[in-house]
Amino acid sequence: MSTAELREILHVEGDHDAACEAIEQKGWSDGLPVVLPTAERVRAMLQYCDRPWDEPIAKIAPRYGHATPTRLAANAVMAGCRPQYFPLVMLSIEAICEEPFNLYSLQATTHNCAPLVIVNGPVARELDINGGTGAFGPGRRSNATIGRAIRLALLNIGGGIPGFGDMATMGSPSKFSYLVAENEAVNPWEPLHVERGLPLEASAVTVIGGESPHNINDHESTNAEGLLHTIAGSMRSLGINDNYHQWRSQPLVILAPEHARVIADAGYSKLDVKRYLYEHTKLRLGDFSPENIERRFRGKFDIYRDATLDEAVPLVRQPEDLLIAVIGGAGKHSAFVPTFGATKPVTRALKRRDGSYAASVEDFRQK
């Protein structure tokens, strides 16, 4: 694509303030000021693209707009991304648009969910993506702008516009930017991307259609059983979507490094943790309101049609459906991320166009 074509697509009259105002009036922003996507800036972003600039890498629901590298690069510029971040923007969009993730429903639902991106592998260190203290908060350009670029693409290409394509009752701060790294340096188990089938040396993203993190405070328990008791109790909740989508639900448990170390030192594997939480997060059918029992459980699940009110209602179908990641810094606060429910996490590795694993984002730099 030529520079002239880029100028035609992104042409806005006036000075910087006027241009930002025009972009906002067109509905191309998330409500925050943007970096102007000039042809030169978009072209610099595209220097980290290893495929034709006008070839769609995905279709973003609910509009099913074609996510070409050029369009994604324009949104990445507006978000404030450095060009080196662009391969991760493209990878995340590819993962989010895979069928099991169910982006159409995630974008259009009244639920307050958003795509959470967890980054693993060398790229997290290369791009200085925060997985430690304050990982879900402000202060790191990579986390903030890569996550924001994804959101702008969901708005501008996918049509996830509040009140139109996005019907969230309340929305969520996570709909501005929702991206972290796993804290692999202090993870006592295999990192998330390895558990999900990739080699340790791979760089990858795992996308999860989740709510914002729900804090789990336990400063007093000194053993694994006490911590897991608190975590399981915090996960048992009548109002989360996962209860109503047991055939697809895969919520995320985020363990703070201090909690993870105590649990691992007691001899628990990740699977042991999942088995404990599976058993101890079950509710009784009778815990739910009469309308939910009749309209949801008896009406939609054959296994509950003739069940007594003492029938156990598990959070997920099987222990392996729970996801566990170690994120955060010092402090005894873990977290739980319920999901939209009717969504599956997707993990994708950073690969070159020929299918081989990329050693770094520099592999995508156009010579």
pLDDT tens for each residue of 54-66: 999 999 999 999 9
Instruction: Say which amino acid occupies 242.
Output: D
Q: Which residues contact 302 (CB under 8 A, 6 or more apart)?
A: none
For the chain, domain boundaries: 1-181+352-367, 212-338
Question: What is the per-residue pLDDT across 250-286, written as a single tens digit (0 to 9) for each?
Answer: 999 999 999 999 999 999 999 999 999 999 999 999 9
Question: pTM of the predicted model, to two decimals?
Answer: 0.95
> Each residue of 75-101: b (16+ CB within 10 Å) or e?
bbbbbbbbbbbbbbbbbbbbbbbeeeb
Residue 283 confidence (pLDDT): 97
| Cα distance between residue 367 and residue 364, in whole Å | 9
The amino acid at residue 138 is P
Among residues 38, 42, 28, the alpha carbon closest in space to that of 156 is found at 28
| pLDDT tens-digit series, residues 111-168 | 999 999 999 999 999 999 999 999 999 999 999 999 999 999 999 999 999 999 999 9
pLDDT digits (tens, 9 = 90+) for 285-326: 999 999 999 999 999 888 999 999 999 999 999 999 999 999
Sign of CA dihedral 36, 33, 90, 101: negative
Hey, what are 160's tokens?
């996830």
Residue 64's region, left for phi above 0, alpha for psi from -120 to 50, else beta, is left
Residue 326: enclosing H or E segment and its boundaries?
A: strand 323-326
264's CB contacts (< 8 A; 6+ apart) are 188, 189
So what's the pLDDT on residue 248?
A: 81
Q: What are phi and psi of 357, to 5 degrees?
A: -65, 140
Q: Is the pLDDT of residue 366 over 90?
A: no
